[in-house]
Structures are given as structure tokens and as C-alpha cells.
Structure 1
Amino acid sequence: MLFEVWAPQAEERVALWLEGAQRPMERAEGRPGWWSTEAGASEGTRYGFSLDGGPVRPDPRSRRQPDGPDGPSAVVLPDTHVWRHDWPGRGLRDAVLYELHIGTYTPEGTLDAAAGRLGELAALGVTHVELMPLCPFPGTRGWGYDGVSPWAVHEPYGGPPALKRFVDTAHGHGLGVVLDVVHNHLGPSGNHLPAFGPYFTDTHHTPWGSAVNLDAPGSDEVRAFLRGSALAWLRDYRLDGLRLDAVHALADTRALTFLEELSAAVDALSADLARPLFLIAESDRNDPATTTPREAGGLGLAAQWNDDFHHALHTALTGESQGYYADFAAAPLAALARTLTRGFFHDGTYSSFRGRTHGRRVDPVATPSHRFLGYAQTHDQIGNRALGDRLSATLSPGSLACAAALVLTGPFTPMLFMGEEWGARTPWQYFTDHTDPDLAEAVSLGRRREFASHGWAAAEIPDPQDPATFERSRLDRSERTREPHARLLAWHRELIALRRTQPDLTDPDLATVKVAYDEEARWLAVRRGDLRIAVNLSGTAAGIPLGGGAGGRSARVLAAWAPVEPPQPPGPDGVLWLGPESCVVLADE
């Protein structure tokens, strides 16, 4: 088989290390910086590369790292997995996503164990499972955002074969699979790329140090490296989409940006495979160009996370005003109404948190609402809190039900974070397993200092390196059958079913969404076609003036959450009475 590596940093020679023996490699003709050689190898054969007589390093394009990021690579032969399901693909339109972390989703913390639970998600009604990053990282436990080897699968999760089994099982349940990938940084621990070539550049700096090289000399090959990795996930593992982490941190000054190149390559692969593929961006830019088609001058990605919706909803539910919530705290229901009807809250307005204006206005004609992901909780928004506390730690079941109603009947593509559907009480904390003692200490100290500046005592901050922090973050699945969790689970299932059966709930036209609210009384009502969704976030009953149905028609209750008696449709005066922390979905007759 052919072994090749891009190693322009090598001055004189590159050697292939294969099961303990080394053989010289030749410069590849017509491919500057590339070296290659032929050698016999079988599945699992260990190999690596030595540059100019230096230490053996893993293959930058390694498909498997059975001994961790610092060990040798292992040969993965062309697909030997026998796929059981002929999958036509499942696009993002009308989707309901479910974000999960393999290590804490089940007691076993493996892809195979998670695959065994996919029937529960299909029964819930979600359409796609979004996996947090799977690339290898040092140690066994972590969020995955410090991964290396962007073509490989973390071995403690089960490695490449387990991911194929997971995807195959998901497809058998009718579920698409999305993978979170990180292109804005790698490592730092276990990152051997700088020894091979200019994968990073000091032309730009990021919170993680030198930027990934997308525009300096040598960047053509770096782009090809990242692009090839992304396409391999979609092609070789039959994934349906990728979530791109923090694309605002991709420093790229070239006229044709990496994101445009990647979206074009994914569209071409989709046409070649004859099944839908898509990219979702995490972006802090509030720029509709992220999802505007390339032919209209945009980047051409399918969707982007909408943190403005999250922040407005979180502030309305909790009253918190620290950090970026300050921008939404003065009038949280007004902020929520603005995001529900305009997409972004900051669309060219002043952000006190940033100390400047932020964002660009969304054209509802050019930007369908399904191009935004809407959510009440994510791994970031929970895990980056001091204690990793979920909304369920402080909110009543009724408030959680109201949040679910706004997410699952809202105009955006909804996403849930694992356990949210039953109001899980387990925290989701920041945990690591760095094997480098200096890095481990720096991370632990940095976490304590960060939150100490916000008034937290150091002893209260969970140590990311402590295994107990990881263990606390595992889901307690026994909660699902106990109250109030069982009722919340049924409520989420009911709302998702409504989303499938009521076309108004998947109408992508933001201009048709109408919102009324009372900031002081803490109620909000959303009209979507012939449907009206009302939530009362206050601790007392509220009369919500909805008016009669369209043309004076009456209304019927499709779904409701109430503490005691279910709410009745509006009377002749058009006023809907909702109990405290209650919500209802109404349909005009």
C-alpha cells in the first residue's frame, strides 16, 4: 500500500517507521513537500514517520490512534464495514437536533453503548443526533475540543469501527448523524503537526495561540488537509452533516475563504453521493452571510447556531444579567420577541458586553428561519458556567416546560442538549484528563482564577482534572421514569409530534411570525399561521389578550402544561387565562 506524508519541514530525509523497522521515503514528483513509499501492511499495522532522523511521529492524516495521540498510527484499510442500512440521507430542513457527549451519555461512555439508546431518541421524535467532537485527545475523558488527529476517532469511545456501527444503527432508526468538528485550533497536547509543516502561522493569533494557517505560505495544503478530513467524515462514515466549531476564530484573509471552499466541496460530495449533506456553523458574528448561498455572495453554509435566541430566553427564564446576558436583561421578553421575529437580537445594534455595535440585519426573504438553530441549553451554555448547572437546578418544571414550548414551536431549527428532555438534574461540568502535568495544573488554576474574578470561592469550583467532575456529569437515566421528569419527557415528545403534524410550525418565513408580550406581567404569545403559543413565566395567573381566532373563529387546545387544571381556549372577550408557569399551544378552528 502507499504511504505518503506532507512534510516540507524535513530538510533531507523522511523515513517510514513500520512495525519497528524504518525505510526511506522518496520526494513525490510534482508535489512539493510530499514524500511517499510503498510497503506491505494489514489492518491495524502500526506506523509513523521520522523527519531528518528525529523521533517517530504519528501520521497527520492518521485514521486511527489506538495508543493515543502520541503513539504510532494504525493502518485502516478501505471500508470493511458491512453497512446494514441503505441510507438515502436526511437534510436539515424540518429537523430536530439532539446534542450529546459520548463519554457521559451512558454509564459505559462508548459509541456502542450510546447506539443502544438511539431507539429512545427516535421515539422522542428527534431527527438528528449531533455528536460532540470525537477526534483523539490525551487521556480518556474530556469535551473533545482539544483534540488532534482530525481524521481519527477517540479510541476510548471505540475507535473508527464503533463510529461506523453507531451511524449505521442511527440510520436504521431513521436518525441522521451530525459531528462537531474543530478547525480553529488543535491540541495543544499531542499536537505533532508543527514538526511536519506550516500548519500554524504567527500572522494571526487566537485564544489558543498561533492561528491555523489558512492564508499564509503553505496554506493551500493546510486547507486541503482540513477539507479532506471533513469530507472523509461525511463519505467514509456516512455522516449527514458537520457542526463547525467557532468559525469566527478562523483567521482567513483570502478572497476565497476556507468556509466557502468547504461548503462548495460538501455540496459537490452531496451531488456525487446523491444524498443531502450539510454544514452548521457556530459563529459569533451575527452575520446572515454565513448561511447565504454562495451564488448570492454568502458562505453557503446550511445553518448557524443562534446564541442571541438562547441568551434572550435564558435571561427571560432566570433573570440573570451577568456577562453577555447584560445586553438582554433590561427587557428580556422584548429581546426574545425581537429574536423570534428578526433572527438576531444584535443586528447592527450596540452591544454593551462588547462595547460596540454588533451584527447585521437579517433579510427574512433571503434567510429562511430554519437556517438558525434555536435552543435553551447547549454544552457551552451549561458547561461554561462555574458549576455547570443546568436550568433544572433553579427552575420549576413549569418554567422548563415553557422553555421547551418556545424552542420546539419556534421558527428556528430546534436543538436539545442531552437530558434536557426530562429535566435532568445532573450537572454538565468542564472536565479534562490532560496527561501533561504542567498543562493539567494550568487548566485547573485557570478555571479557579476565572470564576474567582466573578466572586466564586476557589473551593466551590470543580477541578476539571478530578475524575469526580466527570462522574458528576454523567446522565442519571433512572430519572426518566420519576416525576417530574417523566412528565417533562412526555411534554417534549408531545411538542415534537406537533412540529411534525402542524405545517405552520415549520414555516420558514420569519416575516409571518408575530409576537405580543407584557414585560411586567411576564407573558409572551407567538402567532405562527393558525397556531398560537402562549407562555406565562410569572408566579401568578395571567390574562393574555389573544383576541378571537382569525375571522372570529374559536380556538382549541392542541397541547398544554398547567400546574393543576388545563387552560381553556380564550372566551368571547379573547382573553386566555394561564396559570403560573404554564404554557399552551392553540389552533384556530
Structure 2
Amino acid sequence: MQFEVWAPQAGRVTLHCEGATRALERDPERAGWWRTEAEATDGTRYGYALDEGPVLPDPRSRRQPDGPDGLSAVVEHERYAWRSRWTGRPLPGAVLYELHVGTYTPEGTLDAAAARLEHLVELGVSHVELMPLCPFPGRHGWGYEGVSLWAVHEPYGGPEALKRFVDRAHELGLGVVLDVVHNHLGPSGNYLPAFGPYFTDTHHTPWGSAVNLDAPGSDEVRAYLLGSALSWLRDYRIDGLRLDAVHALADTRACHFLEELSTAVDALSADLGRPLFLIAESDLNDPRLITPRAEGGLGLHAQWNDDFHHALHTALTGESQGYYADFARAPLASLAKTLTGGYFHDGTWSSFRGRSHGRPLDRTRTAGHRLLGYSQTHDQIGNRAQGDRLAASLSPGLAACAAALVLTAPFTPMLFMGEEWAAGTPWQFFTDHTDPELAEAVRRGRRREFAEHGWAEEDVPDPQDPATRDRSCLDWSELDREPHARVLAWYRRLLALRHEQPDLTDPDLADTKIAHDEGRRWLAFRRGDVRVAVNLAKSTAAIPLGPREARVLAAWEPVEAPGTDGVLHVPGESCVVLLQA
């Protein structure tokens, strides 16, 4: 088979393959590339030595059996016999479920997670969004410090296990989305700088030198990232990618990397004959991100909407620290603004940033499904000092209100694993760095960060302690106990309503009509003929819905339909979904 590697600064490149060595020759047609032929099959171990340096893993390694520091292994993707006859599942009308393989089950493997997929089918979601799977040092971690962007973390089961997971999901009718990180690589096990200018000091990010998207050599770096993205979609039959922190992709070229990526993904979708999509994480509140390329945008298909989360979180909890401050001044008004306009900061002043921020969405041209709405994510839970979920501080009634707002809003809903039964387990920040100095730096940095906010050192879990990961694993025995069973039944009912009521998947943002009372803490909105009323106060709220006849579709507490006066009486910390004629 052919081995090739981009190493533009090397004077000599040697292939080390199963104990034998072979010199690579320069590719006369591609500057900086080296190539050779050698006998190899699936599983063959190999690596490259540059000049007089050590043997390093392949930057495009498809497998790292011994972790990021070990030799690469050949993967013959065509050897896998796919069982499912999958034609895809598009983003419009979807409900996503964010899942971390290492804590979804105590085993922490893809095969163990696949065995729990029927739970998601019964729940009523449409897609599983897997947190990053690329190899990282150690066994357990969030995955955002991965390296080898074409490979699968071996402790999760490696490439074959991912294919089995996707195959099983597709057999059950579930799409699979993968979280990928292009804005940085982990500090340990990252050998890309030895091969070429994968990073540049032209720009800097919170993680150091930026990935090289616009400096000399960036054509090949962009091709590297594009190839990795397309490989997940093609070779593993993934249905969509979640792109981590795209605001940290520094690119001054006329054609932004994200536009190039969206063009390539749309072309692959047409070639494969099934829908593929890209979802960005971005804090820019810039509509161009999700505007079609034909209209001058970057052409991504959706983005996470943190503004909706922040407004909802402040309304539920009353928290006002940090970036919550602007939302907490009038939380229900903030929530109403995001429900009808998508962004809260749409050119308004952001006290957290000390400047104005964002620009308005065109509600008449931007479909609601292009924004993901959620009450919890791995970030919003795990970046709290103790990784506490909403259920740790909210009553079951308020948790039910959060679910109602997420699952009936005009966005693509997303749940975080365990949320659907108000899991009592936290989800904490954990690492398993094998470098002692890096491990200690992460431990101290985490505790220093929260000490600035008044946390005692002993109250901040040690990321390197295996117990921190273990505490973060879901406890599946909770499903049959109260109040978890009741919360789970509520989520299932709300998700069933999304299938039963077309108005709940209508993408028209401009059609959402809303009313609220900040003092009495109630909010109600209309989507077509569906009415949603939420009472966050402890006392019963009288909410005027108008004289039209209404029928209760779902209620957290028993509720009578409005009488002739059109007033709906909602018990404290409760919610109701109605259908009005």
C-alpha cells in the first residue's frame, strides 16, 4: 500500500513499518509531500522518522492502538460490513442528545453506550451527539484535548467500536453527530509541529498558537482539517459534525475555512445521497455563520444558542454572576427576546465583555431549526466548580418547566445525558494526564480559577482523581425511582408532542407570539395553535390566554382548561401545553 506524509521542512523521511525501514521519496507533483510503497494490511503498525529524529505517529493516523505517543496502525475502512441501510435523517425537526462516551455508562466504552441506545429511542430523540472521540493521553477525559484528528480514542474501543455504535444507532433510526475540535490540539501527544507549520504565531488563542489557517503552509493545514471532517462523515457514516468554538478559528483569508468546510460537506452530501450538516459552537452572535453561502454567509447549518440558555438559566435559578448579569436584570424579558429573536445580544451592550455585542437575526429568513436550544450542556454543567446539574438546585416542577421551554421552543432542542430523568449525579471536570507536570498544572489551575470566585480549594474536585470521573457516571438505577421516573415520563410526553403537533416543529421564528409577567414570574407563548404556559413562581398564576376553546395536551400538575374568561390557572412551579381551536 502507499504511505504518504506532508513534511515540507524535512530533508529526509523514513517509514518504520513492522520493524523494517524504507526511505520515502519526494512527491514531484505535490510540494512538501513524501511517499513510498510498502507491504501492509489492516492493523499494521508504522511511524515516520524525520531526518535524525525519533519515530513519530502519522499525522493522518487512522488508529493509535497504544495511545497518542505510540505507533500508528493501518485501518482498512472497507473491511467493516455495515448492517444498516441508512438513508439519513436531516436536521430540521430533530432533537439532539449530547452524550459523553466515558461517563454514559460505568464501562465508558462505545459498545456499552450502544447497548443503551434503545433508551433514547423510547425517549423520542432523533440524534445522538457524541462528545469528541479523538485520542488523548490517559483513559478518561472530556475529549477536548485530543490529538490524531483522524483516529478514535482506543479506550473507547477504537475505530471498529465507533462503526458498531453508528451502525446500531442507524438500525434504531437514530442519527449520529460527532463533536470535533479544529481550533486547537491537546498539549500532550501533539506531534504535528514536527511535521510542518500546522500552527502559527500570527494569531493566538486561549490554548496558545493558533491553528494555521491563513499563514504560509495553510493550504495543507486546511486540507488536513477538511480531510478529517469528511472522513468522519464518509468512513464512519456520521450524519453531522458539531464544530467546537469556531470563534477561535483565526482566518483572514477571503474564503473562510468554515465556508470551505461547508462547501465540501454539502458536496459530499450530494455525492452520498443523504443529508449531512454542520453545527457550530460560537459566542459571536453573528448571523453570517448560519446564513447560506448563496446569500453571502458561511453556510453552516446551525449553531448552539447560548443566549437562550443564559436567559433560561437566570429565570430558573436567579444566578447573576459573570455573563449571566445582563440576562438577570429582567430574566423573563430576556427569555422572551431569545424565543422570538434568537439572540439576546444582537448589537446590545454586554457588561461581561465591556462592549456592544452581536447583530440581529433576520427572523423572516432564518429558520428556527438553525439555532439549538438547551437548558444544560457539558460546558454549562462541567464548568461549574462542582459540576452540579440543574436538578441539584431546582424543584422537580422547575426542572419540568425547563424541559417544556426547551422542547416547545422554535429551536432544535438538545438535551444533555441524564437530564431527561433529572439525574442526581454531577458531571465534573476530569482529566487523566500521564505527564505529572501537566497534571499538576491542570489541578492547580482549576482550583485557582474557582478560588477567585470564593471557592475553598478542598471544595473543588481534583480533576486527576479517578473518583471525579466515577462520580460523573450516570446512575441508571435512578430511572425507576421518584422523582426521576416522573421527570422521565414528562420528557417522553413532551417529545411525543413534537411528533404529534406540527406547529412545534414549525421553523418560523417570526410566528412565535409571547407574553410574560416579570413580577409574577409567568411566561406564555403561542406557536400556531399550540400554547405553552410556564409558572416559575411558588404561587398559582392566572394567565390570560384569550377566549378561544383550549384542550390540555400535557401538564406537570393537574390543570383545568381555561373557562369562558380565557384565564388559565397554573399551579406554582408548573407548566402546561394546550391546543387552542
Name the TM-score, length of structure 2 as normaliser. Answer: 1.00
The 2-side partners of 1:43 and 1:331 are apart by 59
Q: Stretches of 4+ moved more than 2 A in 1?
A: none
Q: State the match for 2:567 in structure 1.
A: 575
- 1:203–1:170: structure 2 CA closer, same or farther, 3 Å change rule? same
Question: Residue 360 in 1 paired to residue 359 in 2?
Answer: yes
Between 12-21 and 327-336, the greater mean CA deviation after superposition: 12-21
Q: State the match for 2:278 in structure 1.
A: 279
SS of 1:50 mapped into structure 2: strand
SS of 1:586 mapped into structure 2: strand
SS of 2:4 mapped into structure 1: strand
Q: State the match for 1:2 in structure 2.
A: 2
TM-superposed CA distance for 1:20, in Å, is 2.1
Q: State the match for 1:166 in structure 2.
A: 165
The 2-side partners of 1:494 and 1:335 are apart by 27
Q: Is the 8 A contact 2:287 2:360 kept in 1?
A: yes
SS of 1:79 mapped into structure 2: helix
What whole-Å deviation, never above 9, does each CA across 1:433-487 have from its counterpart, x for those lacking one?
Answer: 0111111101000000000000000110001011010000000010011011001
SS of 2:555 mapped into structure 1: strand
From 580, 583, 586, the equivalent of 2:578 is 586
Question: Residue 97 in 1 paired to residue 89 in 2?
Answer: no
SS of 1:495 mapped into structure 2: helix
What whole-Å deviation, never above 9, does each CA across 1:379-412 have from its counterpart, x for those lacking one?
Answer: 0000000000000000000000000000001100
Question: Residue 305 in 1 paired to residue 297 in 2?
Answer: no
TM-superposed CA distance for 1:78, in Å, is 3.6
SS of 2:399 mapped into structure 1: helix
The one-letter code sitting in structure 2 at the alignment partner of 1:560 is: A
The one-letter code sitting in structure 2 at the alignment partner of 1:404 is: A
Q: Is the 8 A contact 1:57 1:192 kept in 2?
A: yes
Q: Spell out the pairing of 1:52-131 with structure 2 (5 A cutoff).
A: 52-131=51-130
Q: Spell out the pairing of 1:139-150 with structure 2 (5 A cutoff).
A: 139-150=138-149
Q: Spell out the pairing of 1:266-345 with structure 2 (5 A cutoff).
A: 266-345=265-344
SS of 2:220 mapped into structure 1: helix
The 2-side partners of 1:588 and 1:392 are apart by 31
The 2-side partners of 1:165 and 1:521 are apart by 51
The 2-side partners of 1:460 and 1:348 are apart by 38
Question: Residue 556 in 1 paired to residue 556 in 2?
Answer: no
What whole-Å deviation, never above 9, does each CA across 1:300-357 have from its counterpart, x for those lacking one?
Answer: 0110000000000000000000010001011000000000000000001000111100
The 2-side partners of 1:482 and 1:77 are apart by 46
SS of 2:463 mapped into structure 1: coil
The one-letter code sitting in structure 2 at the alignment partner of 1:559 is: A
Q: State the match for 1:351 in structure 2.
A: 350
Q: Is the 8 A contact 1:556 1:587 kept in 2?
A: yes
Between 200-209 and 500-509, the greater mean CA deviation after superposition: 500-509
Q: Is the 8 A contact 1:184 1:212 kept in 2?
A: yes
Between 361-370 and 202-211, the greater mean CA deviation after superposition: 361-370
Q: Is the 8 A contact 2:7 2:32 kept in 1?
A: yes
TM-superposed CA distance for 1:547, in Å, is 1.4
TM-superposed CA distance for 1:23, in Å, is 1.1
The 1-side partners of 2:9 and 2:491 are apart by 54
TM-superposed CA distance for 1:9, in Å, is 2.1
Identity %: 76
The 2-side partners of 1:519 and 1:415 are apart by 26
Q: State the match for 2:263 in structure 1.
A: 264
TM-superposed CA distance for 1:413, in Å, is 0.3
Which blocks of at least 5 consecutive residues in structure 2 are unaligned?
Answer: none
The 2-side partners of 1:75 and 1:327 are apart by 52
Q: Spell out the pairing of 1:400-549 with structure 2 (5 A cutoff).
A: 400-549=399-548
The 1-side partners of 2:77 and 2:491 are apart by 41
The one-letter code sitting in structure 2 at the alignment partner of 1:183 is: H
Q: Is the 8 A contact 1:546 1:574 kept in 2?
A: yes
The 2-side partners of 1:577 and 1:243 are apart by 41
SS of 1:163 mapped into structure 2: helix
The 2-side partners of 1:42 and 1:53 are apart by 27
The 2-side partners of 1:235 and 1:579 are apart by 50
Q: Is the 8 A contact 2:106 2:470 kept in 1?
A: no
The 2-side partners of 1:580 and 1:78 are apart by 56
The 1-side partners of 2:308 and 2:77 are apart by 43
Q: Is the 8 A contact 1:292 1:366 kept in 2?
A: no
The 1-side partners of 2:48 and 2:130 are apart by 31
State the number of aligned residues: 581
Name the TM-score, length of structure 1 as normaliser. Answer: 0.98
Q: Is the 8 A contact 2:95 2:126 kept in 1?
A: yes
The one-letter code sitting in structure 2 at the alignment partner of 1:517 is: H
What whole-Å deviation, never above 9, does each CA across 1:13-55 have from its counterpart, x for those lacking one?
Answer: 0000111222111001121110000000121111000000210
TM-superposed CA distance for 1:571, in Å, is 1.4
Which blocks of at least 5 consecutive residues in structure 1 are unaligned?
Answer: none
The 2-side partners of 1:102 and 1:77 are apart by 24
TM-superposed CA distance for 1:366, in Å, is 1.8
